[in-house]
Structure formats: C-alpha cells, structure tokens
Amino acid sequence: MASVEITKVKDGITLSIDAMITRGKSVSSFLNRATYPVYQQLQIQRWETENASENESWNPVKPDYATIKRKRYAGFPGGGQKLMVATSKLAFAAQGLAGALKIVTESSMTVGIDQGFIPYAKYPGADRPYMSFSDDSISKMTDPLVQYIMNGTGL
C-alpha cells in the first residue's frame, strides 16, 4: 500500500484569513484602546449638545420644573440650565467616569451605568435616551474595529 502525504499550503489568502480570525478572536485591547475613547467622546458631545449630536434633541423639561431647576442647581455644572444635568453624576457616568460600568471580553464590550451608584439612572432614558446611538455614531465606533480585524489597522 502506498502512503499518502497531505500537505497544507499556506498561500497569501490563507495567511490573511488566519490573521483576521486571530484578530477577531481577541479584540479586547482594541476595544479598550480605540473603541471606548470614541464612545466617551460621543457621550461628551451628546451631553454638551443635549443629544443634538445624535440627531434628536432631548425633550425639554416642564416649565414649572425648569424654574425650580435653575434655582436648585445654579451652582452645579450647567447652572441649572442644561437638560439632564443637575449634579452631573449621570452625565459623568455615561461618559465613562464615576458610576460607569464597562465590561470588555475577548470579543465584546458592554457599557452602562452602575445603578447602585446612581439609582435613578434607569428613569431618564425613557424620555431622553442617552445610551442609544445614531447610525453615524455606531459607524464611528465600529468601522475602525472592522478595519482592525480585516487588515490590522484602525484608528
């Protein structure tokens, strides 16, 4: 009986695909180094523009509360004038500072607000969403990741 020898040929396409698979299995450092800072910048823009940077401004507060807010929070950032900003705790947590949650695995990143730190975080999002993004913003976060996986480049 004759012996059969199997040889694996590594051509350019195979090497390229192997590299993409390897990068795709471990994107955690790219998510921390490149994607998360883009997320933070997008959140800063959102809060500075009262969500207009995401193509839809937040609903205004009721006039009676606006008067109370201007007085009660006059000494805080925004001077009681900015939507969704009283003490800034929620804004800072959404931007990745105190009260933020970030979980990065080898293949994903999840961000949120620590409701133990900011118990009211779940309420304002119904009328004034602050954790959903426009298609443009999603592309700003994901396009560099795709470039990284495909060819090893990114931001």
> Mind listing the pLDDT tens digit for each residue in 34-61?
999 999 999 999 999 999 999 999 998 8
Residue 122, pLDDT above cutoff 90 = no
In-domain check, residue 1: no
- Percentage of the chain beyond pLDDT 70 is 95
Domain housing 34: 28-149
Give the pair of three-digit tokens for residue 69. Answer: 């807010």
pLDDT at residue 134, rounded to an integer: 96
pTM of the prediction?
A: 0.82
In-domain check, residue 15: no
Q: Is the sign of the CA dihedral 88, 89, 93, 94 positive or negative?
A: negative
Residue 23, pLDDT above cutoff 70 = yes
In-domain check, residue 22: no
In-domain check, residue 13: no
pLDDT band at 8 (very low <50, low <70, confident <90, very high): low
pLDDT band at 155 (very low <50, low <70, confident <90, very high): low
> How many structural domains are present in the chain?
1
In-domain check, residue 9: no
In-domain check, residue 127: yes
Residue 68, pLDDT above cutoff 90 = yes
Mean pLDDT of the chain: 88
In-domain check, residue 20: no
Residue 1, pLDDT above cutoff 80 = no
pLDDT at residue 151, rounded to an integer: 84
Residue 83, pLDDT above cutoff 70 = yes
In-domain check, residue 14: no
| Three state DSSP letters for the chain | CCCCCCCCCCCHHHHHHHHHHHHHHCCHHHHHHHHHHHHHHHHHHHHHCCCHHHCCCCCCCCHHHHHHHHHHCCCCCCCCCCCCCCCCHHHHHHCCCCCEEEEECCCCEEEEECCCCCHHHHCHHHCCCCCCCCHHHHHHHHHHHHHHHHHCCCC
